[in-house]
Amino acid sequence: KIYEPEVHSDRRKWRMRSVSVDLNNDASLVIDIPDALCERDKVKFTVHTKTTLSSFQKPEFSVPRQHEDFIWLHDTIVETEEYAGFIIPPAPPKPDFEGPREKMHKLGEGESSMTKEEYAKMKQELEAEYLAVFKKTVQVHEVFLQRLSSHPMFRKDRNFQIFLEYDQDLSVRRKNAKEMFGGFFKNMVKSADEVLISGVKEVDEFFEQEKNFLLDYSIKIKDATAKAEKMTRSHKNVADDYNHISGALNNTAADNNTAFKNMCVLQKVEDRMASDQELKLTELLRYYTRDIQAAKDLLYRRARALADYENSNKALDKARLKGKDVAQAEENQKQCLQKFDKLSESGKKELTSFKARRVVAFRKNLIEMTELEIKHAKNSVSLLQGSIEILKSN
């Protein structure tokens, strides 16, 4: 019999704390995901919207959405030419329950070889881990929607409004293999193109600077994210070890039970510490890794536009030289310039606000993380002091 965790079918509710970014500051469109249901490999999010905007039919409504719907929304926005000048909020990553699920499976298999307490403990531990992943997943999806809703342009997007309002299943088609490959191919082309257009001389110092900064920063933050992930993982291992040790100590020294029960709680504190570090720091870094990628995409699009403009200039020169299709070339050149200017303009705005947003988010998360670290460490201290006193007194 394989163990089926209750969480799978359990509805878990929690109050949302926007973690990675400070959003929802505009009361005219407030979105949150108060509830999510996890079924097998699908996660159904309840997307709740409260609005005063007249473009919506009702002031408040909830719809069920799946992860794929979010991806669809992201893709349509990316594909919209109009939005080329904006940093498009990064799509939420696919829910990944493999880790805890695999453990659950192992737990089910090992059920017979474990004592009841050990089993209950493991189960509890796993459920906590599962919940943490679940929470995180919901959060990134929520943040994605909040980013869209807080953006002056995206909030008016038709697809976005459909996504929020349409009360039936969106039943977006999953990407088929060809499209997947197409997406992959597009990325390849983009990367190659990026290299090609990198030779284009930047005309605007702001963008030149911004480009250098983002390139450098994205490498650094990617690295930091990987390192932070590693660190939190090993921290969790340590917490796990505490757990096992406290269990074994309980078996060994029955007389010092209370002291070792504290040890057990200590494990929980350590575990919490690791998870909070993960939530506050690693998630922040992860998010900004993606966000910076989005900003880089914007730069790419602008650089592309610049290259197009330069090409059109060349084409115009050629046309003038040959005296053929001059009007068409002029038109083309004008359009390219327009597009480029527009991209530059909105891009400048976007990048500036991106910077401000990033600083705020880092500040918030670092403060929260620090406070949590202090809180947990204080908890540990009092637990340890208690244990030591108990041990010393008997």
Partner 1 sequence: MAASSERSPPPFPDSEEPELLEDSDEGADAFTGTSISEMDSPSPDSTRPPKDIFNEPPEDIFSDPLSNINPEPQKKVDTKIPSPSSDEAVDLFSEPLDDDSEVMSSPEVQNPMPDLLNEPVEAPKSDVLCEPPVHKNAARQQDFFEDPPKGSNNSSSSVKKAASAELFGDDEDEEDLFKETPKVVTKKPQPSGPPVDVFTEVKSDVKVKPQVKDDPTDMFTEEALTAPAQKPPASSSSSSRTNGVHSEEQDLFSEATVELSLDSPLNDRKKKDAVKPSLSAPAASVASSSSKAPSKTLEELEEEESEDKFDLNISVTNPEKVGDGMNAYMAYKVSTQTSLTMFRSKTFTVRRRFSDFLGLYEKLSEKHSQNGYIVPPPPEKSILGMTKVKVGKEDPSSAEFVERRRAALERYLQRVVCHPSLLQDPDVREFLEKEELPRAVSTQALSGAGFLKMLNKATDAVSKMTIKMNEQDVWFDEKIQDVENEEQHMRKLHVMVESLVNHRKELSGNTAVFAKSVAMLGSSEDNTALSRALSQLAEVEDRIEQLHQEQASNDFFTFSELLADYIRLLGAVKGCFDQRMKAWQRWQDAENMLQKKREAEAKLLWANKPDKLQQAKDEIAEWEAKVTQYEREFERISATVRKEVIRFDKEKARDFKRQIVKYLESLLNSQQQLIKYWEAFLPEAKAIA
What does the binding site for partner 1 look like in residue numbers (CB under 8 A)?
213, 216-217, 220-221, 223-224, 227-228, 230-231, 233-235, 237-238, 240-242, 244-245, 248-249, 251-253, 255-256, 259, 266, 355, 358-359, 362-363, 366-367, 370-371, 373-374, 377-378, 380-381, 384-385, 387-388, 391-392
What tokens were used for 100? 């805890």
Pick between residue 312 and residue 365 the one whose CB is nearest to partner 1.
Answer: 365
User: Minimum distance from CB of 132 to partner 1 (Å)?
Assistant: 19
Min dist CB 226 to partner 1, Å, is 8
Q: Is 221 helix (H, G, I), strand (E, B) or coil?
A: helix
CB of 355 to partner 1, least distance (A): 7
C-alpha 215/C-alpha 133 separation (Å) is: 30
Q: Which of 109, 371 has the CB closer to partner 1?
A: 371
User: HEC states along 154-192?
Assistant: HHHCHHHHHHHHCCCCCCCCCCCHHHHHHHHHHHHHHHH
Here the tokens at position 287 are 């998010």
Nearest to 281 by CA among 226, 356, 239: 226
Q: Is the Cβ of residue 241 or residue 331 nearer to partner 1 in the bound state? A: 241
Q: Quote the tokens at residue 22.
A: 């400070």
Give the tokens for residue 138.
Answer: 């919901």
| Environment class of 339 (CB within 10 Å of its CB; exposed 0-12, middle 13-18, buried 19+) | buried
Nearer to partner 1, 124 or 385 (CB): 385
Number of CB atoms found within 10 A of residue 352's CB: 12
Coil, strand, or helix at residue 346?
helix
For partner 1, give the closer residue by CB, 112 or 252: 252
User: Edge to edge, what strands does the sheet with 60-66 contain?
Assistant: 11-13, 29-39, 42-51, 60-66
188/374 with CB nearer partner 1: 374
Shortest reach from residue 104's CB to partner 1, in Å: 22
State the minimum distance, in angstroms, from the CB of residue 393 to partner 1: 11
Residue 153 CB, nearest distance to partner 1 (Å)? Answer: 25
105: number of CA atoms within 13 Å, CB side?
6
Residue 43 phi, psi (nearest 5):
-120, 125
- Residue 153 in contact with residue 83, Cβ under 8 Å? yes
User: In the complex with partner 1, which residue's Cβ is closer, 29 or 279?
Assistant: 279
Q: Is 363 exposed, middle or buried (0-12, 13-18, 19+ CB in 10 A)?
A: exposed
- In angstroms, what is the minimal distance from the CB of 206 to partner 1? 12
CB nearer to partner 1: pick between 111 and 373? 373
CB of 316 to partner 1, least distance (A): 37
With residue 31 as reference, give the H or E element that holds it.
strand 29-39
In angstroms, what is the minimal distance from the CB of 148 to partner 1?
25
| SS3 label, residue 394 | coil
Helices 158-165 and 67-79, packing angle to 10 deg: 170
Nearer to partner 1, 165 or 373 (CB): 373
Instruction: Between 139 and 277, name the residue whose CB sits nearer to partner 1.
Output: 277
Q: How far is the CB of 392 from partner 1 (least distance, A)?
A: 6
